[in-house]
Amino acid sequence: MDGILLIHPDLEHSLPSEIHLVKKYIFNSKAKSTQKAYASDWKVFNYWCKQRSLVSLPAMPETVALFLSFSSQKWSKPFDSR
């Protein structure tokens, strides 16, 4: 049930059963295939950030924009002008 869920440390210690329930709801809110795709995408983004000495979480908007630009060039189909 681990994933990207930032919880203030005070809440983790004072409300552990409630936090566990929230994590369970979040985990079960997506299909397994979606969870797998998200995990894969996160690994790619995190690796891309590390290779460029950028912070992946919390990511600055500029970092996300740069990654999206990189991704669109690397994985998009060429534009077919007719």
Answer yes or no: is 2 within a domain: no
Residue 44 has pLDDT above 80, yes or no: yes
Answer yes or no: is 26 within a domain: yes
More confident residue, 80 or 36: 36
Look at residue 82 and give its three-state secondary structure: coil
Confidence of residue 2 (pLDDT cuts 50, 70, 90): low
- Angle at alpha carbon of residue 52, lines to 51 and 55, rounded to 5°: 100
Mean pLDDT, rounded, of the chain: 84
Answer yes or no: is 1 within a domain: no
Residue 2 DSSP symbol: -
Q: Could you read off the pLDDT of 15-24 as tens digits, one per residue?
A: 888 888 888 8
More confident residue, 1 or 69: 69
CB 66 within 8 A of CB 55: no
Distance CA(6)–CA(76), nearest Å, equals 31
- Angle at alpha carbon of residue 38, lines to 37 and 44, rounded to 5°: 90
Answer yes or no: is 40 within a domain: yes
Instruction: Count up the domains in the chain and report the number.
Output: 1
Q: Which of 9-23, 29-43, 68-82 has the highest mean pLDDT?
A: 29-43
Specify the pTM. Answer: 0.64
Q: Could you read off the pLDDT of 71-80 as tens digits, one per residue?
A: 988 776 655 5
- Strand spans (E) along the chain: none
Q: Domain span at residue 45?
A: 9-72
